[in-house]
């Protein structure tokens, strides 16, 4: 917790010359800053990068498993297509599908989690039973089994199926948090004042959970990335276009793990996915530090 | 002070106990935590079985109908013959009304009849599951325990020494490990340690035991099983330990700030006692709620980790049946995995209720 120590130093410094907020953040949160830089880098690469790519990444028999060169920075795959091209192009959909799935599941989780805790009674029991069922069934297994029955041929379906499994963890956390907040004096005071449920929820309870929700959103995103790559790996997604998940699946099916030739075809998307998930986690923690003064003053 | 407090608590709790005695024993059992928890577990199992039944029967591409049509068009069976086939495969009689099919299905489940494989005719789903599930329970269970114990210990140390180099390094490593999907790590293990560095013979480590090694209660069998399980186990441990470390660290930090810890320190309670009994015991409680998630996560991971290492567990069998669209097997494995997880969670919750009396009420 070097952040905590330097935070104390900073509050004293502030009286002399207050450094800009971002500098304070960077000095307090080096790993978090690194995460943000990596995340922004991946976003730029995936959303701006494709504009700088050549028109087509055509198959080329002469270039099957070619080694990295000036023309092909990361070499070529088993059909002679450029790997770097696929890396730049393969993040877009993965990222926005995950974000959309995380958004949906966060929405479900907050609404039903908070309502369950505040309303109690049969509503809470019902929500909890459903949550329990979805939570108990291992996510990935449920995803795999569900996807075996549905033909996943549109990104929208993919978002839906990923958010079906994504919310229970969040919902439970939200409910627990609201339950504990419910007992705090300020919410009790609001109840005594008869301020009404929505007001209590949106003005008193949720702002206190802002960091929590945001962090869970980010974790929801990593979960959706995880799930998405699983679906690709299982060969259950029939979507066209480059995708890191698809690259892993193709490379694995081609036996790239066991050969020297195609190893970059397999390792490059793995590295991208791990980097993306790691940077997301770091961003979540940095946000936690920004939003949770308790961590700073500790 | 401690004594006084506990004396007061005894006085307060005394009237409650009297009430307890006056209640009838039936009510005590019905109201007990274990009973309610068991009921919830059974309800979950029931709901999941219902869910999978209607998933199989009601989705657009109803696999039972697809199967019947295929039998009729490809092999020239009459509808009755094809329906008979489907009846034995899915343990469902398609000619009966849906509701009766459903009750049949449930009673078959209760008798342990999950139908037969579509791909391997004549092989019952139950026998397929029986031959596979223990390997997964063994590898997943072992890694869960290792990761939980090691991770929470390291996390506690990180919290006590927060701000130190150790904390910095452990936090970084923990966050990286926490964000590597286990199946990707499994691939990296094979690529880096198996193929490139040649540290282990990944082809020899395939399977759940060496061929020729009988499944028996002996040292030779145990070491052999461990040898084959070591790769999946290490992947599960490495990918889940980071989560436990970070969770335990933040939980410990917030417990360290609690008044009772400050009070204990002020009273001059020895530091090791404070850390072990006042902080550690309280800090580990939130981790138990995460255990429920972790169990599902690791079991879910087996779906891809096992096929990558060719470990003959239930995850690999599920992978195969998803690829072959072998619906009866898929449905059976799904059910059995869910039931195992429900049982595991039930045990975890009982443990938790022993540790934290607050949740028993």
The mean-pLDDT minimum among A224-233, B19-28, B35-44, B315-324 falls in B19-28
Last residue of a domain, one of A241, A258, A273: A241
Question: Mean pLDDT over residues A122-147, rounded?
Answer: 83
Task: Name, in order, each residue with C-beta under 8 angstroms of B165's C-beta and a sequence gap of 6 or more.
Answer: none
Q: Taking CB atoms and an 8 Å cutoff, what residues of chain B touch A221?
A: none
Asked whether residue A5 is domain-assigned, the answer is: no
| Helix A121-136 with A155-182: angle, nearest 10 deg | 130
pLDDT value of position A297: 42
Asked whether residue A2 is domain-assigned, the answer is: no
| B248-272 core/surface letters (b: 16 or more CB in 10 A; e: else) | bbbbbbbbbeeeebeebeeeeeeee
CATH of the domain at A173: 1.10.3720.10
B172 touches chain A (CB under 8 A): yes
Compute the distance between CA of residue B244 and CA of residue B178 in angstroms, rounded to an integer.
Answer: 9
If you measure CA to CA, which chain A residue comes closest to B246?
A285
Question: DSSP string covering B42-56, please?
Answer: HHHHHHHHHHHHHHH
Asked whether residue A6 is domain-assigned, the answer is: no
Report angle CA A118, A120, A121 to the nearest 5 degrees. Answer: 160
Token reading at B109? 């489940």
- CB-based contact A140 B190, cutoff 8 Å: no
Maximal CA-CA distance, chain A = 77
**How high does pLDDT run on average in chain B?**
77
pLDDT above 70 as % of chain A: 82
Q: Are A110 and A144 in a shared domain? A: yes
Question: Mean pLDDT over residues A225-249, rounded?
Answer: 83
Q: Are A207 and A248 in a shared domain? A: no
The SS3 assignment for B116 reads strand
Compute the distance between CA of residue B283 and CA of residue B144 in angstroms, rounded to an integer.
Answer: 19
Question: Mean pLDDT over residues B22-28, rounded?
Answer: 67
Question: Mean pLDDT over residues A249-266, rounded?
Answer: 75
Asked whether residue B64 is domain-assigned, the answer is: no
pLDDT value of position A214: 80
The mean-pLDDT minimum among A50-54, B48-52, B298-302 falls in A50-54
Higher pLDDT, B354 or A197: B354
Q: Are A116 and A161 in a shared domain? A: yes
pLDDT above 90 as % of chain B: 2
pLDDT tens digit string along A28-87?
A: 777 788 888 888 888 888 888 777 777 676 776 666 667 777 766 667 776 767 778 788
pLDDT value of position B7: 45
3-state secondary structure string across chain A: CHHHHHHHHHHHHCCCCCCCHHHHHHHHCHHHHHHHHHHHHHHHHHHCHHHHCCCCCCCCHHHCCCCCCCCCCCCECCCCCEHHHHHHHCCHHHHHHHHHHHHHHHHHHHHHHHHHHHHCHHHHHHHHHHHHHHHHCCHHHHHHHHHHHCCECCHHHHHHHHHHHHHHHHHHHHHHHHHHHHCCHHHHHHHHCCCCHHHHHHHHHHHHHHHHHHHHHHHHHHHHHHHHHHHHHCCCECCCCCCHHHHHHHHHHCCHHHCCCCHHHHHHHHHHHHHHHHHHHHHHHHHHHHHCHHHHHC
A1 touches chain B (CB under 8 A): yes
pLDDT at A178 over 70: yes
Question: DSSP string covering B68-93, please?
Answer: HHHHHHHH---HHHHHHHHHHHHT--
On whether ipTM exceeds 0.90, the answer is no
Closest CA of chain A from B211, distance in Å = 23
pLDDT at B2 over 50: no
- Which pLDDT band, with edges at 50, 70 and 90, does B146 fall under? very high
Maximal CA-CA distance, chain B = 86
Asked whether residue A64 is domain-assigned, the answer is: yes
- CB-based contact A138 B337, cutoff 8 Å: yes
pLDDT value of position B14: 47
Q: Are A280 and A264 in a shared domain? A: yes
Q: Are A179 and A169 in a shared domain? A: yes
Q: Are A269 and A234 in a shared domain? A: no
Question: Mean pLDDT over residues B285-306, rounded?
Answer: 79
Question: Mean pLDDT over residues B341-351, rounded?
Answer: 81
- CB-based contact A277 B179, cutoff 8 Å: yes
Asked whether residue A127 is domain-assigned, the answer is: yes
What phi and psi, each to the nearest 5 degrees, are found at residue B204? -70, -25
CATH of the domain at B229: 1.10.3720.10
- Which pLDDT band, with edges at 50, 70 and 90, does B58 fall under? low
The SS3 assignment for B352 reads helix
Token reading at A145? 């089994």
Token reading at B206? 């395939």
- Which pLDDT band, with edges at 50, 70 and 90, does A100 fall under? very high
Structural domain range at position A128: 92-241
Q: Taking CB atoms and an 8 Å cutoff, what residues of chain B touch A248?
A: 184, 187
Q: Taking CB atoms and an 8 Å cutoff, what residues of chain A touch B319?
A: 144, 234
Asked whether residue A12 is domain-assigned, the answer is: no
Q: How many beta carbons lie within 10 A of that of residue B2, not counting itself?
A: 10
Question: Mean pLDDT over residues A144-151, rounded?
Answer: 80
Closest CA of chain B from A258, distance in Å = 6
Q: Are A164 and A28 in a shared domain? A: no
Structural domain range at position B210: 132-324
The structural domain count of chain B equals: 1
Report angle CA B122, B124, B130 to the nearest 5 degrees. Answer: 140
Closest CA of chain B from A119, distance in Å = 19
Q: Taking CB atoms and an 8 Å cutoff, what residues of chain A touch B309?
A: none
pLDDT above 90 as % of chain A: 1
Higher pLDDT, A102 or B300: A102
The SS3 assignment for B24 reads coil
Task: Name, in order, each residue with C-beta under 8 angstroms of A195's C-beta and a sequence gap of 6 or more.
Answer: A203, A204
Chains A, B: CB pairs < 8 Å: 150
pLDDT at A275 over 80: yes
Higher pLDDT, A184 or B48: B48
pLDDT at A115 over 80: yes
Token reading at B325? 């669209």
Higher pLDDT, A12 or B70: B70
Length of chain B: 361
Q: Taking CB atoms and an 8 Å cutoff, what residues of chain B touch A233?
A: 183, 304
- The alpha-helical segments, DSSP class H, found in chain B are 2-22, 25-31, 33-58, 63-75, 79-90, 98-110, 125-160, 165-178, 182-188, 219-256, 259-266, 271-273, 281-283, 285-309, 314-324, 327-355
- CB-based contact A270 B187, cutoff 8 Å: yes
Q: Are A118 and A257 in a shared domain? A: no
B347 touches chain A (CB under 8 A): no
Last residue of a domain, one of A195, A223, A241: A241
Last residue of a domain, one of A241, A266, A281: A241
The partner residue sitting opposite A138, judged by closest CB among B55, B289, B300, is: B300
Q: Would you say A122 and B284 are in contact if contact means Cβ atoms under 8 Å apart?
A: no
Asked whether residue A9 is domain-assigned, the answer is: no
Q: Are A160 and A200 in a shared domain? A: yes
Q: Taking Cα atoms as reference points, which of B251, B249, B242 lies closest to residue B173?
A: B242
Asked whether residue A98 is domain-assigned, the answer is: yes
pLDDT tens digit string along B59-84?
A: 655 666 667 777 777 777 777 777 77
pLDDT at A162 over 60: yes
The structural domain count of chain A equals: 2
Asked whether residue B195 is domain-assigned, the answer is: yes
Q: Can you give the C-alpha Rg of chain B in angstroms?
A: 26
B206 touches chain A (CB under 8 A): no
């Amino acid at each position: 917790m070097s952040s905590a120590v330097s935070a104390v130093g900073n509050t004293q410094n502030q009286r002399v010359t207050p450094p800009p907020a971002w500098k304070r953040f960077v000095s307090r949160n080096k790993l978090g800053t690194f995460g943000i830089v990596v995340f922004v880098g991946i976003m730029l690469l995936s959303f701006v990068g494709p504009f700088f790519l050549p028109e087509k990444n055509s198959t080329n028999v002469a270039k099957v498993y070619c080694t990295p060169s000036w023309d092909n920075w990361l070499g070529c795959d088993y059909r002679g297509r450029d790997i770097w091209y696929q890396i730049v192009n393969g993040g877009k959909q993965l990222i926005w599908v995950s974000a959309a799935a995380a958004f949906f599941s966060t929405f479900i989780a907050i609404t039903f989690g908070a309502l369950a805790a505040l309303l109690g009674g049969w509503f809470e029991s019902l929500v909890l039973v459903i949550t329990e069922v979805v939570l108990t069934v291992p996510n990935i297994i449920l995803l795999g089994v569900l996807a075996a029955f549905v033909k996943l041929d549109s990104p929208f379906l993919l978002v839906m199926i990923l958010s079906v499994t994504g919310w229970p963890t969040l919902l439970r956390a939200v409910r627990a948090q609201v339950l504990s907040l419910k007992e705090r004096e300020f919410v009790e005071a609001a109840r005594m004042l008869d301020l009404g449920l929505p007001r209590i929820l949106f003005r008193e309870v949720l702002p206190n959970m802002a960091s929590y929700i945001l962090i869970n959103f980010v974790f929801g995103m990593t979960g959706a990335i995880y799930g998405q790559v699983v679906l690709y790996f299982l060969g259950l997604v029939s979507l066209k276009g480059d995708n890191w998940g698809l690259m892993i699946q193709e490379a694995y099916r081609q036996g790239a793990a066991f050969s020297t030739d195609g190893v970059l075809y397999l390792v490059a998307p793995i590295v991208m996915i791990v980097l993306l998930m790691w940077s997301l986690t770091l961003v979540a923690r940095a946000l936690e530090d920004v939003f949770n003064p308790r961590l700073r003053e500790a | 002070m401690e004594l006084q407090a506990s004396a007061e608590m005894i006085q307060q709790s005394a009237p409650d106990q009297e009430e307890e005695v006056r209640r009838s024993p039936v009510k005590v059992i019905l109201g007990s935590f274990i009973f309610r928890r068991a009921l919830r577990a059974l309800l979950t199992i029931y709901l999941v079985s219902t869910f999978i039944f209607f998933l199989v029967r009601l989705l657009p591409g109803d696999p039972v109908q697809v199967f019947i049509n295929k039998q009729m068009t490809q092999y020239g069976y009459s509808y009755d013959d094809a329906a008979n086939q489907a009846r034995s495969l899915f343990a469902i009689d398609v000619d009966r009304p849906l509701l009766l099919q459903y009750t049949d299905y449930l009673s078959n489940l209760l008798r342990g009849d999950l139908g037969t494989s579509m791909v391997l005719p004549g092989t019952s789903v139950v026998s397929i599951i029986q031959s596979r599930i223990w390997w997964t329970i063994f590898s997943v269970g072992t890694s869960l325990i290792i990761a939980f114990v090691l991770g929470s210990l390291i996390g506690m140390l990180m919290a006590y020494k927060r701000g130190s180099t150790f904390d910095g390094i452990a936090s970084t490593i923990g966050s990286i490990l926490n964000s590597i999907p286990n199946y990707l790590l499994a691939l990296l293990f094979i690529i880096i340690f198996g193929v490139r560095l040649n540290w282990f013979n990944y082809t020899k480590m395939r399977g759940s035991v060496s061929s020729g090694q009988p499944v028996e209660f002996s040292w030779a069998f145990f070491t052999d099983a461990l040898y084959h399980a070591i790769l999946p186990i290490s992947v599960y441990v490495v990918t889940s330990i980071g989560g436990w470390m970070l969770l335990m660290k933040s939980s410990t930090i917030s417990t360290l700030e609690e008044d009772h810890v400050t009070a204990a320190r002020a009273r001059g309670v020895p530091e090791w006692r404070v850390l072990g009994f006042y902080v550690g015991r309280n800090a580990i409680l939130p981790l138990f709620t995460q255990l429920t998630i972790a169990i599902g996560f690791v079991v879910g991971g087996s779906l891809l980790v096992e096929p990558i290492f060719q470990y003959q567990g239930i995850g690999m069998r599920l992978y195969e049946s998803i690829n072959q669209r072998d619906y009866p097997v898929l449905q059976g494995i799904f059910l059995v995995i869910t039931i195992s997880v429900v049982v595991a969670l039930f045990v975890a919750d009982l443990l938790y209720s022993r540790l934290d009396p607050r949740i028993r009420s």
